[in-house]
Amino acid sequence: MADIARKVGLGRSTVSMALRNHPEIATATRDRVLKAASELGYQPNPLIALLMSRLHEETATRRDTVLAVINEPEADWNWRDFPIFQTMWAGIEAQAKRRGYLVEEFRVGPNGMSPERLNQILVTRGIPGLILAPKFGTTPSRFTRWENFAAVTADLSVKTPGLSRTCIDHFHNFNRAWAELEARGYRRIGFLNNPGLSIRCDHQYHAANLVKLDLLPPERRVAPLILPGEETTADNVRTWLRKERPDAVLLASADYMLRIVREVAAVPEELGVAALELGCAPADMSGIDERMHDIGEAAVDMLIGRLQRNERGPVSAPRTLHVEGVWRDGNTTRRLN
């Protein structure tokens, strides 16, 4: 950097900021520095760059620096009302504290402030980074001033704007749950889901189920039951069970589906049942712990990484970090002979 500074006639601190794409450096100055660096064959040492980034973070971050979580609640739906997302929030808070930040939620929309008012508050308070919370549907976010902030999300439901994200590894988790049921002797495994959840997770559970069915011999294939919540009735489930004859079932929405399944079959004596997301399942159920706490922590780390690289706004090629879940034994499955 000293060589580059001599070549362009600037101070080393200016050169350092230009190489890090700092917003306070003029575009022309940055381009001049980058051209000189290229001509001199400059290559940063990644270990020293990491050390300096850490030192800069520890000295520059105030204990009152806030990371914002943008919540867009619907009339009868708020992400913090659900245990699965309460665990995610706990992970966000815990990791932000460990990294020297505070975290604060801001509500936008009919049940909160206007996007314009939120932008004004964030800019006035100097809040540099945002996490867009999970949404009920997949409609675009009402907030539009992303260019002013580093931003990520922690769920697949957020389609617009294009943000890098951390989320459940739905495909892996489905396969892990299937393998655990097979290890317990189940051979005809069915799948119950609803269209709304399928859309929110990019149909990943459904895709994993279709792959499984394609690889199975015909006598082991069980057609999935995909019904909206109001059509997931005991009669419809009973009809499906009689037709398909599964010996185990994977539930994507176990919070209400398990109750309906228990109305028509003895669990686990007649039918093994496992949840794909234990965060929204009754206690002591078998299934996948989706590690929502870890997903929240990873979202904070991803956001801080963007802050350290001075990256603002949506990205043209969003990156997704999938967090693999783990199996937990419960009382809704058993080992078959």
**DSSP character string of 216-281:** S-GGG----EE--GGG--HHHHHHHHHHH--SEEEES-HHHHHHHHHHHS-TTTT-EEEES-GGGS
**Residue 226 placed within a domain:** yes
Q: Is the pLDDT of residue 64 over 90?
A: no
Same domain, 223 and 298: no
Same domain, 164 and 305: yes
Same domain, 73 and 6: no
Q: Is the pLDDT of residue 48 over 70?
A: no
Same domain, 117 and 175: no
Domain containing 227: what range? 170-289
pLDDT for res 107: 92
Give the whole-number percent of the chain exceeding pLDDT 90.
57
Quickly tell me which residue has 């686990």 as its tokens. Answer: 268
Q: Is the pLDDT of residue 45 over 70?
A: no
Given a contact cutoff of 8 angstroms between Cβ atoms, the answer to whether 263 and 289 are in contact is no
CATH code at position 22: 1.10.260.40
CATH code at position 145: 3.40.50.2300
Same domain, 210 and 273: yes
**In angstroms, how far is CA 7 from the centroid of its own chain?**
45
Q: What is the mean pLDDT of residues 298-325?
A: 91
Q: Which of these ranges, 34-43, 91-100, 239-248, has the smallest mean pLDDT?
A: 34-43
**Collapsing DSSP states into helix, strand and coil, what is residue 290?**
coil
Is residue 83 within a helix (H) or strand (E), and if so which, with residue range?
A: helix 83-98
Q: Is the pLDDT of residue 47 over 70?
A: no
**Residue 97 placed within a domain:** yes
**Residue 139 placed within a domain:** yes
Q: pLDDT of 143-152, one tens digit each?
A: 888 888 999 9
Closest CA to 144 of 119, 126, 111, 167: 119
pLDDT for res 38: 85
Same domain, 260 and 177: yes
**Residue 332 placed within a domain:** no
Q: Average per-residue pLDDT in the chain?
A: 89
Number of domains in the chain: 3
- State the Cα–Cα distance between residues 188 and 108, nearest whole angstrom: 46
What does residue 331 show for φ and ψ, rounded to 5 degrees? -100, 20
Same domain, 116 and 145: yes
Same domain, 149 and 217: no
pTM of the model: 0.81
Same domain, 112 and 143: yes
Same domain, 157 and 198: no
- The pLDDT-based confidence of 23 (bands split at 50, 70, 90) is low
Structure tokens at 191: 């799948």
CA distances from 42 to 4, 122, 177, 325 (A): 8, 37, 49, 42
Given a contact cutoff of 8 angstroms between Cβ atoms, the answer to whether 150 and 297 are in contact is no
> Bigger pLDDT: 49 or 304?
304
Same domain, 132 and 190: no
**Residue 284 placed within a domain:** yes
Which strands form 165-168's sheet, in the order they lie side by side?
102-107, 66-71, 129-132, 150-153, 165-168, 320-323
